[in-house]
Structure 1
Amino acid sequence: MKVYGIKNCNTVSKTITWLNENNIEFEFHDYKKSGISESKLKEWADQVGWEALINKRGTTWKKLDAETQISIVSPETAFAVIVQKTSLIKRPILETSKGILLGFEESVYRKELIG
């Protein structure tokens, strides 16, 4: 399993703590440091839709100028901005053998990762 996020994000920290407490092995990808490719974004969007990947409640979204926010109307326009501002991606994203999980929801994690 691979966990994508930003190390200093509280939700990512909760996720990592939960995974460790439940002895679930994972690899961590910090997209703030390592970036993210458009092909990876497309792969995720094919599973959950491109809109679900954008964290519109975060400060990065709120700091975007209105023109940029309005211009994000398709996967292509979204990915162009996200690749430059990776903090726009909802966090964390877990790639599992069953697909991806967005955000931290303990009940979903228990069901999907423990069974």
Structure 2
Amino acid sequence: MTISLTIYGIKNCDTVKKALKFLSSKSLPHEFIDFRENLISEDLYKTMEQGVGLEMLINKRSSTYRSLTDDEKQNIGYELVSKYPTLIKRPVLIQNGDVMVGFSEKQYSELLL
């Protein structure tokens, strides 16, 4: 069975770099998609949101989030995320429909190895 492993993020993000380094060090085949260069689809956004919930998916510590109006903060959805992709916490790992946000070597090991 082929494992479908995709990691979404921004290539210059340190946490994304750690996750990619971990995957490479374990020889785990994966695809990396920079969502700043390749906007995610609305369906993929819904998969991410349904997989981990909006609270976990949105990076509330980011300067992008802090610069939003109160109304925007209350109404985060695909339209806003497609306009400001850095609102999404990084990295987002999707394997066979399972979604994980952020990087933890322990969690990646438990999920992937």
| TM-score computed with the length of structure 1 as normaliser | 0.87
* Consecutive unaligned residues in structure 1, runs of 5 or more: none
**Distance in 1, Cα, partners of 2:81 & 2:97:** 25
**Which of the pair is proportionally richer in helix?**
1
State how far apart, in whole Å, the 2-side matches of 1:24 and 1:9 are.
20
Listed as ranges, the matches of 1:1-115 within 5 Å are 1-69=5-73, 71-72=74-75, 77-97=76-96, 99-114=98-113
C-alpha separation in 2, matches of 1:99 and 1:35: 20
In structure 2, distance between residues paired with 1:92 and 1:83:
16
Please report how far the alpha carbon of residue 4 of structure 1 lies from its aligned counterpart in structure 2 after TM superposition: 0.4
Aligned alpha-carbon RMSD (Å) = 1.4
Aligned length: 109
